[in-house]
């Protein structure tokens, strides 16, 4: 309810003013069923602790008693929290209470560290400079090729006051880590490819973190991403840009947050674990299929097994146990070159409809660029202002990108298995666009292909 400031709460006039303001706010908010909790302030206790000051300075009578009593009076059914983060030996410790989690992100820690941080709930986490879509980037530079070291771009990149880095540096850190490349060199030699990788990297990282947080062994009860929508065009924290267009990270999170979800975690020497979440009130019966593909998109191992997941539960499948043969799925033992470049785990329901797919890439390098592929992308009208797009390829595709000006897809930036047709619903977003023209590309495709439209 209050931002991070040193408030003169003991001043009678100021105290009366903020109590009146809080009462007015509560009178408005108590009408909304969507209000689930009130929080007195953001990061006041944290700031006091980080400055080495006594804890009582950050926990004064106004937030501890007066505002709490006012919330109970005005909206008694909703709980009240004094400050966020709070609850640990120090308010910003991650293993107690609520925490603002930027271990993966601003503090540049690897995803493998997430488990030891033992996050219980995070109302603020995973802040990245999320790259906007091509349309927004080009608009910022009046149609010219975006140059991200330009002052006009840099002024819109979020940063912490006094820090010697910005959140684009954080994104580049994980880009280098994931693909074993030098972001500055890549940006200098192939700016378009740098932008394409930058679009997806924050989504890749966040999906891995949520795979950990939703896994069988996790103690995390939830986490909110910082934040929803950019305030102006650029690579802001938002998962949606200032024009309302979803960024690549939006689609990664959309898949990761489904009530029925499948994810893979890297257990190092213990292989891969597959986690199936069923956060519904009904038992889930279906089939799990696992594939290991080599660099030529040929399956070197596969397995299908029936699964039954109880309501509101998570089940874990140990891949080595399922395969019943050692294939070094995480490529941790490294007895020679890895025989596979991708592990895919797909879940279907009892009717054979796909519920989700998870992918794991054992090699931290760029996927092999495919130049000669048999790729089909065909779109047909479906309902008012809607289309169905069918994408099929004979090779494994990494982060398939659907770009149709004036239209949005209900799924995008997804990995596609060879020989598996993906159907995507397309709907109109801009009614001023009369022609339906677009392209399908992927990180490992040399060239995008034109979508064939059978009805316009």
pLDDT in tens, 48-91: 999 999 888 888 999 999 999 999 999 999 999 999 999 999 99
> Got the DSSP string for 292-340?
EE-TTS-EEEEEEEEEEE-TTEEEEEEHHHHHTS---TT--S-SSS-S-
In tens, the pLDDT along 129-177 reads 999 999 999 999 888 888 888 999 999 999 998 899 999 999 999 999 9
Candidates 95, 18, 83; CA nearest to 48 is 83
pLDDT of residue 179: 96
Mean pLDDT for the stretch of residues 108-112: 96
Q: Which is higher by pLDDT, 384 or 304?
A: 304
What average pLDDT does this structure show over 87-109?
Answer: 96
Res 456 pLDDT > 70: no
CA dist., res. 335 & res. 331, Å (int): 8
Is the pLDDT at 312 greater than 70, yes or no?
A: yes
Average pLDDT over residues 290-303: 97
Q: What is the mean pLDDT of residues 109-129?
A: 97
| Residue 279: partners with Cβ closer than 8 Å, 6 or more residues away | 259, 260, 261, 312
pLDDT at 111 over 90: yes
d(CA 380, CA 368): 31
Residue 233 reports pLDDT greater than 60 = yes
3-state secondary structure of 171: helix
Non-local (6+) Cβ contacts of 102 within 8 A are: 125, 126, 127
Structure confidence by residue, pLDDT tens digits, 366-420: 888 888 789 999 999 988 779 999 999 999 999 999 999 999 999 999 999 999 9
Same CATH fold, 260-360 and 111-257?
A: no
- CATH class as words, domain 111-257: alpha beta
Which pairs with CB-CB distance under 8 Å and at least 24 residues apart come from 20-25?
22/67, 22/70, 23/70, 23/74, 25/1
pLDDT of residue 368: 86
Give the architecture (CATH level 2) of 260-360: Sandwich (2.60)
| Residue 356 near residue 385 (C-beta atoms within 8 A) | no
Q: 9 pLDDT exceeds 90? A: yes
Could you state, in order of their start, the residue ranges of all structural domains in the chain? 12-87, 111-257, 260-360, 375-453
Nearest in space to 119 (alpha carbons), one of 45, 1, 210: 210
Instruction: Yes or no: say if 355 and 309 are a contact pair by the CB < 8 Å rule.
Output: no
pTM, two decimals, is 0.95
Which CATH code for domain 375-453? 2.60.40.10
d(CA 113, CA 126): 14
Q: Counting beta carbons within 10 angstroms of the beta carbon of residue 69, is it exposed (0 to 12), middle (13 to 18) or buried (19 or more)?
A: exposed
């Amino acid at each position: 309810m209050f931002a991070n400031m040193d408030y003169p709460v003991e001043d009678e006039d100021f105290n009366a003013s903020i109590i009146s303001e809080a009462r007015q706010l509560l009178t408005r908010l108590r009408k909304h069923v969507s209000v689930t909790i009130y929080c007195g302030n953001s990061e006041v206790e944290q700031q006091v602790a980080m400055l080495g000051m006594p804890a009582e300075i950050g926990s004064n009578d106004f937030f501890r008693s007066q505002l709490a009593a006012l919330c109970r009076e005005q909206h008694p059914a909703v709980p009240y929290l004094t400050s966020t983060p709070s609850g640990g030996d120090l308010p910003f410790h991650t293993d107690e209470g609520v925490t603002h989690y930027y271990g993966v992100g601003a503090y540049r820690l690897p995803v493998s560290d997430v488990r030891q941080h033992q996050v219980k709930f995070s109302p603020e986490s995973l802040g990245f400079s999320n790259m906007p879509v091509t349309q927004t980037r080009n608009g910022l530079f009046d149609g010219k090729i975006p140059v991200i070291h330009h002052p006009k771009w840099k002024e819109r990149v979020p940063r912490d006051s006094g820090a010697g880095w910005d959140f684009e540096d954080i994104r580049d850190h994980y880009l280098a880590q994931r693909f074993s490349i030098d972001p500055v060199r890549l940006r200098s030699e192939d700016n378009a490819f740098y932008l394409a990788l930058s679009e997806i990297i924050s989504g890749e990282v966040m999906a891995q973190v949520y795979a950990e947080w939703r896994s069988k062994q996790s103690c995390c009860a939830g986490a909110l991403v910082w934040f929803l929508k950019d305030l102006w065009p650029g690579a802001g924290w938002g998962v949606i840009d200032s024009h309302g267009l979803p960024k690549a990270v939006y689609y990664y999170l959309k898949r990761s947050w489904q009530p029925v979800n499948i994810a893979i975690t890297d257990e190092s020497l213990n292989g891969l674990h597959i986690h199936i979440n069923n956060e519904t009130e009904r038992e889930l019966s279906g089939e799990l299929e696992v594939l290991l593909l080599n660099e030529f998109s040929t399956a070197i191992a596969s397995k299908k097994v029936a699964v039954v997941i109880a309501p509101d539960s998570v089940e874990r499948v140990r891949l080595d146990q399922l395969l019943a043969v050692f294939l070094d799925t995480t490529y941790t033992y490294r007895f020679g070159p890895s025989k596979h470049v991708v592990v895919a785990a797909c879940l279907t329901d009892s009717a054979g409809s796909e519920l989700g797919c998870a992918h794991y890439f054992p090699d931290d390098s760029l996927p092999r660029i495919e130049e000669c592929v048999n790729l089909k992308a065909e779109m047909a009208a479906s309902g008012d202002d809607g289309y169905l797009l069918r994408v099929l390829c004979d090779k494994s595709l990494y982060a398939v990108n659907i770009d149709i000006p004036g239209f949005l897809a209900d799924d995008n930036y997804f990995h596609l298995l060879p020989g598996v047709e993906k159907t995507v619903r397309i709907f109109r977003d801009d009614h001023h666009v009369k022609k339906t023209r677009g392209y399908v590309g992927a990180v490992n495709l040399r060239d995008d292909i034109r979508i064939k439209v059978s009805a316009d």
